[in-house]
Structure 1
Amino acid sequence: MKERSDRTSHKLQERNFKLNALLEVSTAINELESDETLFNHFQEILTTKLNLGRGLLLSFNSDWSVDMYFGDMPAFRVGKLVEKCSPFNRITVLNDETDVFLSRFDVIIPIFHKSSILSYLLLGDFDGEKIEVSPIIRHLPFIQTLTNLIVVAQENKRLYNESLKQVAMQRELELARKMQNMLIPNKIPERNDLDISALYKPHQVVGGDYYDFFTISKNKTVFCMADVSGKGVSAALLMSNFQAMMHAILVYDNDLEKLAVSLNERITRNANGEKFITAFISVFNHKTRKLKYVNAGHQPALLSDGKEIKELKVGCTVLGAMDVLPSIEIGSVEVTPGSNLVMFTDGICEIENEKTEEFGVSGVADIMKKFPNKDAKVIIDQIMNSTDKFKGKLDYPDDLALLSVHFLN
């Protein structure tokens, strides 16, 4: 009678221990205890309470890693361990004496979440225990429940953190998009001797391309096309800084060489060498009909008078890559009435067809040859029609920016 009473008492104690253990772990999870604290508590239950000799928890959290291990076991590499565990998709008693590592364990327990394996728990008794009387087998449902509770909680925490990151990223992209929209001019200069048209198609929510045009005096208009390396708020801030400085300097001083030096110094200082900007900046004098320009490592702008096409390449290296620009040359060309000027970013040139051939600068030049002395929008429409046909079913590889100017009488 006493023996039966002792067994009943032992079962009640065991049941209370398991309920308390699950409650403690649940409380730790709800109170957002650190992963280290949680796994230490888990290990204490397995070793001190259940008297297990060896254990290892292998989990997937963007990559496979070992979250917990205890007891005597051979050295291991995570990649090899994943290979050893991956064939097991149900609880399995291990009896493969040929595998030096797995032979140290008695049971492998795969932990699932929505049909995907998140973890593998490997457990072994102290040497000499028979598997039939092992605490692993006796407490298997409890061990499995406890492991599921911890691992799924870790997965939910990971998913929650990922969702927070995605929300933050979306907010950053939205801010960058608003900043970028503020940079793009929304008003065309009111002049009867200029016809201007532009197009911008970001490849993602926020691109790195930028175009601009503005008057700096009664007889001078600035045209600019630029591309910043990288995306997001940092790139948008850098381009915003570039725009503000360019406007401020050119209003008071039309010296493009000084402008290039100042822009390079500012970009280098602000970006710490992590980003750079390519740019084509030009100033058109309506009286003299001279276009002065500096090309800072950008795609050449194309100027067509209806007979020949000039590539405007003269300038310097990209802005922000070096503390001091090694050399700067300012280009100058005469613009006859009826001429077309087209500026674009590398997203146009890098469009590929199914033969992996690039559209290139020559593709833009071909359009300008076919449609000489046309309205600015006609040129842009024809370039886009041509690139659409050229790429076929392929996607555009990058942001697209085009600025077209038709110089009238």
Structure 2
Amino acid sequence: MSDQSKISQQKHIQDLKLNALLEVTKAINNNFSTGQLLDLFQDILENRLGVGKLVLFSFDTEWKCLLKYGIKKEAANIQFENELLSISEIETINFSKGELSKQFEIVIPVFHKKTPMAYVLLSDVNEEKLELSAAIKHLPFVQTLTNIIIVAIENKKLFKENIQRAQIKKELELAQSMQQMLFPKDLPNSDGLLVAARYLPHQQVGGDYYDFIKLNNHEFVFCVADVSGKGVAAALLMSNIQATLQSLITFTHNLKDIVIELNKRVITNAKNEKFVSLFLAKLNTKSQQLTYINAGHNPPILFYENKFCELSNGCPLLGIAEVLPVINVEIFNYTSEFTLVCYTDGLTDTMNMENDTISIEAVEDLIAKNNKATPEFLNKTILFFAEEFKGENEFPDDIALLTLKVSDLHF
């Protein structure tokens, strides 16, 4: 071949490569699918440059074959081999195990910083040709083209993941706003009865719940509950519990009947996969009675006549058994003012840097020191203490606080 012919051929190859890069860039800008990009990649290498055999492996949770051609049928089910992970530069295959060393000559790794993203293995169909093979002649270009294609595919995956994350975030924000609607908006705020609540979800939505329902001018039903687990599944079950409670209250104010029906609803909806702890109470400011059932919930802390009492009697967790074996309804008669702090286990499960958790005694100390303060202030004080206590740790779970201060006494 004359020098002029060689120059002309080199120019033709250079133009071909340049046009191929421009075509790939245009395809990426036009948002070609992954399949279309791989088809173009194969066309350039196989039909335009004459690379006889190729396999392309890419990592996506595991190593997968994205593209292969020119391989014999008996070796068509080709698999990634871990020996490739030791290769960081273009080189000939020098390991002898597996099918790859039998089928291919050259490995081109594609890295992002120090992380392998892809491996291209090349060879020629006719290995007896005396001239330099296309697989070797075009190595730098193949590496460049592979980098562009792989980065484009990765960007498409990231873009899709970002869209999915944005959709999930939007859905969670909607779920969060809907969950906030379940909580009572107006809590009593009079000289005789002060009620305040706070809720800190561990995630955007959670399984903690509180409610305060006015029956008449002197009777109120309130509760604090916690669904096992976290996130959307727990929030969905809790929203069902809230709806059931609100419905039952219109038919009965009997706490035992309400607990029995709530247990049935948990069994039906949770299919024994989740359970619910619940503290359910009725306050009568006229008869000065607090009636309650504690269904396996953290005992609320009652501060009465300078003494602490935990309200723990009741029944087992809801959702454990279809028929609750025993349901004890407790009645507390009061003749002077009291403070009641209801909470979920996210508070007492909060852990500091020394792996200690918040003790009931620590919470009681805060209540005693701030007994003259409003429930709102007391809730803020407790949560501030928890925030300081945990240090750099995360809160382990949702935290709900419902605090009452009763001083409307009738003699």
TM-score (norm 1): 0.81
Aligned residues of 1:375 and 1:406 also touching (Cα < 8 A): yes
| 2:92 corresponds to which of 94, 109, 122 | 94
Partner of 1:339: 338
Alignment of 1:399 onto 2:398: yes
Moved more, 345-354 or 296-305: 296-305
Q: Distance in 1 between matches of 2:129 and 2:337?
A: 95
Alignment of 1:258 onto 2:257: yes
Counterpart code for 2:404: V
Aligned residues of 2:260 and 2:324 also touching (Cα < 8 A): no
CA apart distance, 1:108: 1.5
Q: 1:360 to 1:130 in 2, by over 3 A?
A: farther
Partner of 1:211: 210
Q: 1:388 to 1:46 in 2, by over 3 A?
A: closer
- Find the residue that maps to 2:187 and give its secondary structure: coil
Partner of 1:327: 325
Q: 1:95 to 1:131 in 2, by over 3 A?
A: farther
Q: Deviations over 1:304-362 (max 9, x none)?
A: 2134433222333443455x243341331314222221100111010112321211434
Q: 1:131 to 1:392 in 2, by over 3 A?
A: farther
Partner of 1:137: 136
Q: Distance in 2 between matches of 1:184 and 1:339?
A: 24
Q: Distance in 2 between matches of 1:97 and 1:178?
A: 59
Q: Distance in 1 between matches of 2:375 and 2:50?
A: 82
Aligned residues of 1:312 and 1:331 also touching (Cα < 8 A): no
Q: Distance in 2 between matches of 1:23 and 1:388?
A: 57
Partner of 2:181: 182
Counterpart code for 2:308: I
Partner of 2:246: 247
Q: 1:354 to 1:156 in 2, by over 3 A?
A: closer
Taking only the aligned residue pairs, the percentage that are identical comes to: 35
> What is the 5 A alignment of 1:100-179?
103-104=101-102, 105-112=104-111, 117-126=116-125, 128-129=127-128, 133-179=132-178
Aligned residues of 1:216 and 1:222 also touching (Cα < 8 A): yes
Q: Deviations over 1:58-93 (max 9, x none)?
A: 212244333234536698865x52xx3334333x22
Q: Distance in 2 between matches of 1:390 and 1:2?
A: 84
Q: Distance in 1 between matches of 2:168 and 2:393?
A: 28
Counterpart code for 1:187: D
CA apart distance, 1:260: 2.1
Partner of 1:67: 66
Partner of 1:195: 194
Q: Distance in 2 between matches of 1:377 and 1:34?
A: 56
Aligned residues: 403
Q: Distance in 2 between matches of 1:290 and 1:77?
A: 74
- Find the residue that maps to 1:186 and give its secondary structure: coil
- Find the residue that maps to 1:252 and give its secondary structure: coil
Partner of 2:237: 238
Q: Distance in 2 between matches of 1:170 and 1:388?
A: 25
TM-score (norm 2): 0.80
Moved more, 348-357 or 125-134: 125-134
Q: Distance in 2 between matches of 1:38 and 1:214?
A: 61
Counterpart code for 2:262: L
Aligned residues of 2:206 and 2:232 also touching (Cα < 8 A): no
Aligned residues of 2:279 and 2:295 also touching (Cα < 8 A): yes
- Find the residue that maps to 2:298 and give its secondary structure: coil
Aligned residues of 2:24 and 2:37 also touching (Cα < 8 A): no
Aligned residues of 1:227 and 1:345 also touching (Cα < 8 A): yes
Q: Distance in 2 between matches of 1:98 and 1:268?
A: 60
CA apart distance, 1:163: 1.0
Counterpart code for 1:339: F
- Find the residue that maps to 1:155 and give its secondary structure: helix
Q: Distance in 2 between matches of 1:144 and 1:377?
A: 65
Moved more, 24-33 or 158-167: 24-33
Alignment of 1:354 onto 2:353: yes
CA apart distance, 1:214: 2.2
Q: 1:184 to 1:13 in 2, by over 3 A?
A: same
Moved more, 340-349 or 43-52: 43-52
Partner of 1:313: 312
- Find the residue that maps to 1:133 and give its secondary structure: coil
Counterpart code for 2:396: P
- Find the residue that maps to 1:161 and give its secondary structure: helix
Partner of 2:226: 227
Q: Deviations over 1:221-263 (max 9, x none)?
A: 1221122345555544433332222122123301222222322
Moved more, 62-71 or 241-250: 62-71
Q: 1:374 to 1:306 in 2, by over 3 A?
A: farther
CA apart distance, 1:118: 2.1
Q: Distance in 2 between matches of 1:355 and 1:43?
A: 58
Q: 1:297 to 1:26 in 2, by over 3 A?
A: farther
Moved more, 292-301 or 38-47: 38-47
Q: Distance in 2 between matches of 1:371 and 1:3?
A: 97
